[in-house]
Amino acid sequence: MNYEIKNFETVGDNKLVGFMVRNDNGKAFAIDKEVAISEGKTDEQYIQEAFAAAQAEIDEWNASASIVGRKWNPDTNSFE
């Protein structure tokens, strides 16, 4: 999978970090997470924290995205 930072901004007392995620099939998913601002924290640390918060949703999307677009055969109750 490929992860691109789509936004990185301060919102009140939080840092908003957005990711554009593309899986190996070319499907895309956008997700934003807010993390608390802390003095001395680097940009990479904010991104790492936001990514950790988003990981479960990204994994769930990727699993369900693998089904989208597949052909279903109702006679055999299986994918073609």
pLDDT digits (tens, 9 = 90+) for 14-62: 999 999 999 988 899 999 999 999 999 999 999 999 999 999 999 999 9
Residue 40 region by backbone torsions, left for phi larger than 0, else alpha for psi between -120 and 50, else beta: left
pLDDT of residue 69: 84
pLDDT of residue 72: 95
pLDDT of residue 49: 98
Best CA proximity match to 31, nearest among 49, 5, 66, 12 = 5
pLDDT of residue 17: 98
CA atoms within 13 A on the CB side of 63: 6
pTM of the entire predicted model: 0.84
pLDDT of residue 66: 83
